[in-house]
Amino acid sequence: MASHPVLMKGGFLYHLDKAGEVEKIKHGQAEVLDFSLSHNVMSGTNVIGSRGCKDCHTKNSPFFLRKILIDPCDENGNPVYIENWERLGIDQEKLSRLLLEQ
């Protein structure tokens, strides 16, 4: 590693190639970490969902529509975000069903 340093961020591995140029390679270990989703597993007033379905399943859902930082800076130095529904692999048709008022 010390003889060939790399940077892993935003789904890509960056390193210097033999010509000394930065090479950008898609790399699984640089992806944002996934997490599991479960309903009714934990209790407590601060747990999302403890106040009912509307904690997540509303038109302005703080769960499905929240922004997830996937890269602190792109090639222009700007942060890159996607919404949680995109990160979870939900398509827009399913999202519209999930966001209906309960």
User: Over the stretch 14-55, which tens digit does the pLDDT of each residue have?
Assistant: 899 889 899 999 988 887 766 656 665 566 676 777 777 888
pTM, entire model? 0.60
End-to-end CA distance of the chain: 52
Q: What is the 3-state secondary structure (H, E, C) of 79-96?
A: CEEEEHHHHCCCCHHHHH
Q: Where is 97: in which H helix or E strand?
A: helix 92-98
Give the contacts of 100 (CB within 8 A, at least 6 positions apart).
Answer: 57, 59
- Give the Cα separation of 83 and 70 in Å (integer): 10
pLDDT at 94 exceeding the cut of 60: yes
pLDDT value for 81: 94
Tens digits of residue pLDDT in 54-77? 888 888 898 899 998 888 888 899
